[in-house]
Structure 1
Amino acid sequence: MAEQNKKTLSGLSLNIWKQDEHTIHINVQNPHDGKDSWLTSIEHTDKHDGKQMARTHNNLFRDLKSILEENGKW
């Protein structure tokens, strides 16, 4: 079990929000001093007429959308 803890990074700040009907933005703040936050997006293939693109991840999009919906943020 101690071996697993060595690979876990805790203390990150995570924010997700709806950009549009097919895009969810994710911001991760690194807890270490001097490190910038990281911003990316997860898109559904509907944004690209069903085509798989670099940022299309339908399963992850669905799961993140459900979190936003459950919290009244969609």
Structure 2
Amino acid sequence: MTPSDPLLSIAQVADLLGTTERFPRRLVAERRIAFVKVGRHVRIRASVLAEFLSARTVQPVTIRRGHLRRAA
């Protein structure tokens, strides 16, 4: 672990995602995100959270005007 890659608590992850604590806890319970157990505490690395978000980012669709079909 480096200072640039801190361990975040569930509350901090929820705050960064703008959700309740229930969502990151569910991600951990379903093993959908990597985490670290420190005793009984669960921590998520900031880099793991960034990778999780980038993997689930959906890019916008660009529509080219010339390829639209016209209604009859």
TM-score between the two structures when normalised by the length of structure 2 = 0.28
TM-score between the two structures when normalised by the length of structure 1 = 0.27
Q: Which has the larger radius of gyration?
A: 2
Decide which structure has greater helix share.
2
* Structure with bigger RCO (C-alpha 8 Å, 6+ apart): 2
Decide which structure has greater strand share.
1
